[in-house]
Every structure is written in C-alpha cells, then in structure tokens.
A and B are shown apart, each in its own frame.
Chain A
Amino acid sequence: MKKQNMRKLITQLDKGVLWLGPVSVLAFVVLLTVMYGWVGDVVPVTGEAQETPEVNLANQVQVPVPASNQQTTGGQLVNSGIQFPAGIAGGQIQLINNPTFPAGIGNGQIQLINNPTFSAGIGNGQNGQIQLINQAMQGQGPYMGLSFGEVTVAVARELKLEQGSELYVKAVVAGSPAETAGIKLGDVLLECDHQKVSMQDQVGAILKTKKAGDVIKLIVNRGGRLQSFHVKLQNAPNGLVQAAATQNPNWMGADIQDIDAVMKLQFNLPEKTGVIVNHIMPQSPAQTAGIKSGDVISRFGGTRIRDVKQLQSLILGSQPGSQVQLTVFRAGQYLTLPVILGQQAPAAQKIPFLGPADVAIEGAWIGMDVAELSPNDIKSLGLPAGTSGVLVADVEGPPASMVGFQVSDVITAVNGEPTPDMKSFAAATQKQTGAVVDVIRGEKHLFISVPPPGFTQQGTKINTALDNKFKQVAATIPVNGYLAILTVSPDLNASIAPNLTNSPYLVIVDMPNDSYAVTNAVNQMTISESARQYNIKALICGNISDQTAQSLRMGGVVIYSGVVGTALDAIGLYQSNSLLAMQ
C-alpha cells in the first residue's frame, strides 16, 4: 500500500521536476571534472614564496592619527603619528613572512644583523655563495647544495621546533642534488641519513662518510609539517670551486643595501625596490664616477635593478674594465653616470670595538643604550676627527638588535636630521615612528631602517602569533599574577610606560589562565607594595631607577627593563624568552 502511494506521488510530480535529477547529476559531473583537472596542478607547499600583502606604511600610520592631523599628507603624517613610540620591530618575524631571499646572499635578515652591508661584487665571507663553496671544499665529501643559517626564535616558535638548530635552509644551489630532491628555502633540516642533526658540523660529518651517487634521506620541517626527501649526492661541480678561487671579481667600490619600505617613505623614493648606496670606497670606480652615499641605483645599463643580488650578479657578469651606464636617483631626479668597473678587491675592514664599560650611558632608544660621542671614542674607533654623533654603547634587545644595530655604531643622523649631540638625537627620535638612521660603523657608512612598532622593515604588518586572547578580570580578585607590565594606560594594548614618574598602571598577566588585571596607578613608593600584594614575579618596564629595582629584586621580582612597544608585544617577547633580565 505504501509503495503504491509513493508511486502515485512520483507520478504526480511534474515532468519538469523529473528532469532535474539527471541534469543535476550531470552538473555535478562537470564540477567533479573541473576539480579533477585542478587537483593535480595544486601542490600545496608551505614555506614557498608567498606574496605577503604589501602594506602602505603611510596609510597604516594614518589610522591612529587624530582627526586634527588629517589634513597633513605624506611623510608629515608619519612624523605626526606620535602615539607610536618606536617599538618592537620583531624583525625576526620577517623571516616567516617573506622567507625567500635570493640564494647566494643568504637570508637578508640574518645578513642584516651580522653584516648589514653587501660589498658589490665582492664576496666577503658572509656571502652565501662563498659559504656554499666553503662547505663543498671543507667537507671533502660529496655535496648537497644547501646553505644553512640559524633558526631564529620566531621561526622555531612558528614551526614548533626546539630552539638551537642552525640548519635553517637559507639557500639552495640551482641544479644541485638538494634542489633536484625538492628541498626548498625555509626548510629546517631535522634528520640526515636517519640521524638527528642540529648543527652544520653534524651534516658535514655525515656527508664525509658518503660518496657521490649515494642516496641519503633528509627529513625537514616545512611550514610545521615533516617531509622527507631523498637526495642523490654528487661531487661538487668544478665551477663552484673555481668561482671561489677567483680572487679578482669585478668591482665597483660601492657598498649597497636593499631598499625597504621605511627607506622609501623617509627618502621619498619613487619605487620600493632597488638598492641604495651606503658607502663609497675611496679611489674606487664608483667614487671616480661621482656616485654618492644615499644614491639609489635604479638601472645598470639597460637593466632595472630590483635588489642587491641582481646588481651583484650583473656586476660579476660584466667584463672587467667595461663601462656601464648607471642610472641613479638622487634628490628627486634621475642621473645617468658612466662607471668603469675595476678589478680590485679591497681588504676586509676590521671594525674597532669599544667596550660598553668605557662609556657613560646617557639615553636609551628602541632597546639600546646610547651616549654622546666623545673625542676619546672618536680616537679609539679610528673615526675621522670632527665626527659628531651618538654612540651606541649597548644593544640590549629588540628591536635594536633585530634591525641590525651593533655596539660602537655611531648614529650621525635620524631621518636625515643630523644628530651631533644627545639633545638633537632625543629630539629626532622622539617624534618619529619609522626612521632611517645614518650609521657609521668602522670606516663604512650604512643606513639602518627602524620600522614603526608592529611593522617589519618591508612595511608589512607583523603577524603577531599572539592575538589578544587574554580576558580581563577584576584586580580585586586575588590574581595569581606572575608577570606585570608597567603601562601608560590601563589596557593590554597600551604602550609600556617609559618610567615610573608619571604614575603608570600595572597590568598583571596570569599566563596559565590567559587573563589579566589592571591595578590602580603606581609610583616609586607603591610599586614594591603592589608587587608583594599581587605576588608579582616578573616586571616589564621601559626604565626603572636602580633604587626601585633593588627593592623589587629584594622581593624576588625579575626585572626586564628597556622594553618598548605595547604590553601585548612585551608578553609575546616574554613568552619567547627574547627578554634579558636586568642584573
């Protein structure tokens, strides 16, 4: 009976509806077919070059600017966004955002920290390519074609790795066994030939026991996932070794570095790609040609220059003694200068070092201590007499350490404003968000970009792994607080208070419970009492007097001083062990 009823129902259905069945199935078949064609083409690989959304720095800075300032434009806007104290750059996170740097130069970020200048045409040992060659020669065994760098704290956290590995793949030689096997830039090598590895020496030792033609298995962490590859080892190609033996590559005599977004903004450059000249060697072809520090090289012959690596390879590929038309951008206009490439390689400069004990610290900025340059310093650093500037006495932590400041750097200008003394330095650094700093290091001059808080030097917004998961609880509840941060306003996004004099607020963070509480304003007198009351074990602040620090330490509080940025930034740094405790 039931069946008959159903039959009737079906019969009653409109004939048009009946056609829907096959038509929809056919439509589904078409969909499946499209998917079928699509599935095979997509090889989802994380860690490959990903276009990071380029953020216009100026626009981003515009957001927090008060309404009264809205009529100002362009570069002025940046300067008026005073709400941002120059803060945490988190340059290390840049590694994740934009992991591909041209092979052969090594990772740009690491490079910047270790040695921020690239001598055009000369491999100075820091050059990735030379490292590759060294690896091939030292090993005496077969080669893979990989160049490694240290795994930074941020990368380790992103990939959920233990820290301490130095096997971050920062370059893969084109056509090498490793490239053939599928190893990519940004991989972190975990196992080599079934052995756990974390040091370059370990890899070298394993390779020594192998010969060309052997296949070894590599396990890498790529974007948080483990992947295995089989590498068929080869002997290092002759070309590589010969390239290393060449002592006289072409030489122009200008130190160059990549332009970043901060520089583009501060120097009002037309493009965000290109290279900027930071230092000219005396008696070099570049000097003869009239190239000056601060020039932006936009064309080499007819080729548009995008980055340092490209210019380097162009110079290396040219005939020694040949003349090249170099187009540079200087003071708002393009100039074309003929340069004759020389063949002279300069000796590496030894950078004089001034111990931090020798100088009196007079100020602090973005995580470093600075002092006015004294005549004694000028002498011991071997600088030309009459040099005036601000000496970096100690680099304590991010962002200064990340953007590449080193102890004994001399800051001569900030955003083009000369800083001959502490007063002008304080003035120049107070009213800026992002800055390009003129630095003299040894006998060289270079530019260091300081991005605004929350941005990288490329102008991209930092992906803070830490979003505001913290919920606020009332301070009256006895919070089991361990970490406290001194902030200018009672908020987790508030900036860290520069000192205790303006009655900062105490934000108490309970990490295990993801909660925080805000106390009433504190001062030098009450802070120790508050610390006891809330059981504070660690305190993050901008600056603190020795006396107050002493009394807090008596209460068992670990103090992290000299931190800038927002409270949330500070929590992130604290969690990643990036902060140094005050001794």
Chain B
Amino acid sequence: MKYRACRKCADSVGVVNVVGNILMILIKGYMGVVGQSRGLIADAVHSCADLLATLVMIIGLRLSDRQEDDDYPYGYGKIEYIVSIIIYLFLMAIASFIIYEGILSIVQGRKVVICWSAAWGAIIAILINELMFRQSVCAGTQINSPSMVAKAWESRSDVYASIAVLIGIIGAKMGFHFMDPLAAAVVGVIILKICIEYIKESSLNLLDKAPDEEILDNAKKALKTVETVSGIKNIFARELGQYMEFETELYVPAEISVSQGETIKKDVKQALAGSIDRKIIVKVRLFAFSDS
C-alpha cells in the first residue's frame, strides 16, 4: 500500500460503483429522452442491468444472513439465484425489444432528430465510467485484491458500449440516421449477452454445479495436512448464496472414539477455511478406514 488512504479508498469502491451507476442511469436516461437518442436510452438500460446485478448481490447477502427456520432448514441461500433469473429474464425481453425496435427503425429508414445534449450525456457517462474503472484498478492493486481488479476490467466493457453510443449519436448528427438505432441495437445485444450469462450462472448454481477444479484441489490439499485423516473418500462443494458449502467424506482409523472424531471434524473445518477466501459451511462424514 502506497498511502494510508488506500484502504479507505478500496473500501469505498463498492459504494462509489453503486452511486456512480445510479448517476449514470439518470444522466443517460434523461439526456437520451431529451436528446432523442435511442442508443443512449439503450445504454441507460444497460447500466440498469449492471446496477441490478449489484443490488441482487446485496439482497442475497441480506437474505442469506437470515437464519434457517423450521420451514426452510437449509436457509435462504438460493433465493438470490431465483431473483436474478427472474430479473434477467425480464431484462432479456427488454433487450430483445431494444434490438427489434432498433433494427426496425433502420429498416424503415426513420429519420432521427438528435440533439447534441445526447452526445453530452454519452460523454459524461464515459467519463464517469472511466473514473470508476481507474479507482477500482488502483485500489485493487494497492490492497492486493486481484478480484477487485478483475471486476474493474469487467466493467470496462461498459465504456465501450457508451463509446459506441457516442459514435452513433455523432453519426446520426452528421446525417447517417441509421447509426443511432444501430448503436442502440448493439447495446441491446450487449445487454442480452449479460442477461444470458447471469441466467446461465444462476441456473447452474441452482442445480448445484460443482465449483472450479481449483477450489476442490485446494480443499484436497488442505485436507491432506490434517494428519489424523487417513484418506479422502469424496469431496463435493456447491455455491449457497455467499457461502461455499463443502461436503466431505473422509476415512479415519476405525478404532478412534467419537470424541476423537469430533476433534478431527474441527480440524478439517479449520483446514478448509484456510484453503478458500470466503465463508464456508462444512459437513463432514467419517468412514472407518481399513487397510484392505
């Protein structure tokens, strides 16, 4: 860390992103409507999709904090996926409409009368986005958080969408009327892509897809450090909201007592917690190990 303020800066990244996104949505939406630019309005919807992802994540956090009850003994971890599937299906419909309308107005050769205020909207959006990106990358590097940097690069693609919109507006202003709806359609495709990605991810998580090999390998390595464990029968993991749930089936010597078994379970939990950078739930089942 270069400066003492870096920690504070990194902490603020999340809030800045949410506030920045809301600001951009409002600016793009307003300027788009006032300036009569379809591209900019589509871009505002695009920003909405990003913001929704963040909001759904926050809701997921809140909901999975809720303790499991008698009716839902496994907790509420999966509700996040259902919510995001519903939201993104809805956004998918919107994106299709945007693409359809955009192409329709190109085909019909509608004349768009765009005001320069739309271009300013796009420029402001690009600037905000770029500043947010720089902050994330800088803070991520300083506090040594690759995930923050990776996320920043991910959100960089939003800038490209806004640039496309700006080009569309300038083109339309120059008399190439098809360019603004074209930019809108392009943004629509980007939204569609985001939606499909999120829906895919959420439904796979609903189906308890196994996490990346890397996570399981790390877990196995961690388990091997526990000396009392004789072998690993099986290890599964799944996403459960913000938690990663591990189910491990371990071989232990047949003659150990129940209290020794409990100690082993505790050790295993500790070892697994060290192998991954997030909250975990660990379920351990012990099997008697025989040499045969």
* Chain A CB within 8 A of B51 CB: yes
CB <8 Å contact, A18 and B62: yes
Residues of chain A within 8 A (CB-CB) of B65 are 11
List A27-57 residues whose CB lies under 8 Å from chain B.
28-29, 31-33, 35-37, 39-45
Contact A32:B29 (CB < 8 A) given known A18-B62, A22-B59, A25-B51? yes
CB <8 Å contact, B37 and A39: yes
* Chain A CB within 8 A of B119 CB: no
CA distance A22 to B86 in the complex (A): 12
CB <8 Å contact, B48 and A40: no
CA distance A43 to B109 in the complex (A): 13
Residues of chain B within 8 A (CB-CB) of A182 are 111
Residues of chain A within 8 A (CB-CB) of B286 are none
B105 nearest CB neighbor, chain A only: A40
Closest Cβ–Cβ distance, residue B107 to chain A (whole Å) = 12
CA distance A182 to B181 in the complex (A): 21
* Chain A CB within 8 A of B125 CB: no
CB <8 Å contact, A21 and B58: yes
* Chain A CB within 8 A of B110 CB: yes
CA distance A45 to B111 in the complex (A): 11
A41 nearest CB neighbor, chain B only: B110
Contact A40:B55 (CB < 8 A) given known A32-B29, A32-B45, A35-B32? no
CB <8 Å contact, B101 and A37: yes
* Chain A CB within 8 A of B42 CB: yes
Closest Cβ–Cβ distance, residue A216 to chain B (whole Å) = 16
CB <8 Å contact, B184 and A36: yes
B49 nearest CB neighbor, chain A only: A29
Closest Cβ–Cβ distance, residue B32 to chain A (whole Å) = 7
CB <8 Å contact, A25 and B184: no
CA distance A32 to B44 in the complex (A): 8
CB <8 Å contact, B98 and A36: yes
Residues of chain B within 8 A (CB-CB) of A44 are 36, 113
* Chain B CB within 8 A of A379 CB: no
CA distance A35 to B42 in the complex (A): 10
CB <8 Å contact, A33 and B87: no
Residues of chain A within 8 A (CB-CB) of B62 are 10-11, 15, 18
* Chain A CB within 8 A of B97 CB: yes
* Chain A CB within 8 A of B56 CB: yes
CB <8 Å contact, B36 and A39: yes
CB <8 Å contact, A22 and B52: yes
* Chain A CB within 8 A of B41 CB: yes
* Chain A CB within 8 A of B250 CB: no
* Chain A CB within 8 A of B271 CB: no
CB <8 Å contact, A40 and B58: no
Which label, helix, strand, loop or mixed, suits the secondary structure of the B interface? helix
CB <8 Å contact, B11 and A3: yes
CB <8 Å contact, A29 and B48: yes
* Chain A CB within 8 A of B91 CB: yes
CB <8 Å contact, B111 and A43: yes
Encoded as 1 (CB less than 8 Å from any B CB) or 0, chain A from 309 to 334 comes to 00000000000000000000000000
B90 nearest CB neighbor, chain A only: A26
CB <8 Å contact, B33 and A35: yes
Residues of chain A within 8 A (CB-CB) of B38 are 36, 39-40
Residues of chain A within 8 A (CB-CB) of B42 are 36
Encoded as 1 (CB less than 8 Å from any A CB) or 0, chain B from 64 to 85 comes to 0100000000000000000100
* Option from A10, A18, A19, A42 in Cβ contact (under 8 Å) with B36: A42
Residues of chain A within 8 A (CB-CB) of B184 are 36
List B83-108 residues whose CB lies under 8 Å from chain A.
83, 87, 90-91, 94, 97-98, 101, 105
Closest Cβ–Cβ distance, residue A39 to chain B (whole Å) = 5
Residue among A15, A28, A31, A182 with the highest chain B CB neighbour number at 10 A? A28
Work out how many contacts link A and B, with CB atoms closer than 8 A.
84
Residues of chain B within 8 A (CB-CB) of A39 are 32-33, 36-38, 41, 112
* Chain A CB within 8 A of B25 CB: yes
B188 nearest CB neighbor, chain A only: A36
CA distance A8 to B216 in the complex (A): 34
Closest Cβ–Cβ distance, residue A211 to chain B (whole Å) = 24
How many residues of chain A have a CB within 8 Å of chain B? 26
Residues of chain B within 8 A (CB-CB) of A33 are 45, 94, 97-98
CB <8 Å contact, B41 and A35: yes
A13 nearest CB neighbor, chain B only: B62
Which interface class (under 10, 10 to 19, 20 to 34, 35 or more) fits B?
Answer: 35 or more
Contact A18:B48 (CB < 8 A) given known A33-B97, A40-B101? no
Residues of chain B within 8 A (CB-CB) of A43 are 110-113
Closest Cβ–Cβ distance, residue B172 to chain A (whole Å) = 11
Closest Cβ–Cβ distance, residue A578 to chain B (whole Å) = 35
A227 nearest CB neighbor, chain B only: B113
CB <8 Å contact, A29 and B59: no
Closest Cβ–Cβ distance, residue B208 to chain A (whole Å) = 25
Residues of chain A within 8 A (CB-CB) of B11 are 3
CA distance A35 to B83 in the complex (A): 26
CA distance A21 to B32 in the complex (A): 22
CB <8 Å contact, B41 and A29: no
CA distance A583 to B152 in the complex (A): 81
CB <8 Å contact, B45 and A29: yes
Closest Cβ–Cβ distance, residue B130 to chain A (whole Å) = 23
Closest Cβ–Cβ distance, residue A34 to chain B (whole Å) = 10
CA distance A44 to B111 in the complex (A): 10
Residue among B29, B41, B87 with the highest chain A CB neighbour number at 10 A? B41
CB <8 Å contact, A25 and B29: no
CA distance A43 to B38 in the complex (A): 13
Residues of chain B within 8 A (CB-CB) of A25 are 25, 48, 51-52, 55
B110 nearest CB neighbor, chain A only: A40
B62 nearest CB neighbor, chain A only: A18
Closest Cβ–Cβ distance, residue B26 to chain A (whole Å) = 9
CA distance A10 to B38 in the complex (A): 36
B111 nearest CB neighbor, chain A only: A43
Contact A32:B48 (CB < 8 A) given known A18-B62, A40-B38? yes
CB <8 Å contact, B59 and A35: no
Contact A35:B105 (CB < 8 A) given known A21-B55, A40-B110? no
B65 nearest CB neighbor, chain A only: A11
Residues of chain A within 8 A (CB-CB) of B87 are 22, 26
CA distance A26 to B51 in the complex (A): 10
CB <8 Å contact, B55 and A22: yes
CA distance A182 to B110 in the complex (A): 13
* Option from A19, A21, A36, A45 in Cβ contact (under 8 Å) with B101: A36
A35 nearest CB neighbor, chain B only: B33
Residues of chain A within 8 A (CB-CB) of B51 are 25
Residue among A35, A42, A43, A44 with the highest chain B CB neighbour number at 10 A? A35
CA distance A42 to B34 in the complex (A): 12
Contact A36:B41 (CB < 8 A) given known A29-B94, A43-B113? yes
CB <8 Å contact, A40 and B181: yes
Residues of chain A within 8 A (CB-CB) of B111 are 43, 182
CA distance A41 to B91 in the complex (A): 23
Would you give 27 A-B contacts (Cβ < 8 Å), ordered by A?
Answer: A10-B62, A15-B63, A18-B58, A18-B59, A21-B59, A22-B55, A22-B56, A22-B59, A22-B87, A25-B25, A25-B48, A26-B48, A28-B29, A29-B94, A32-B29, A32-B44, A33-B98, A35-B41, A36-B45, A36-B184, A37-B101, A39-B32, A39-B41, A40-B112, A43-B110, A43-B112, A45-B113
Going nearest first, the 6 A-B pairs with the smallest beta carbon separation are A36-B41, A21-B55, A35-B33, A40-B105, A22-B55, A29-B48
A18-B59, A44-B36 known; 4 new pairs, CB 8 Å cut-off, are: A3-B11, A25-B55, A28-B25, A182-B111
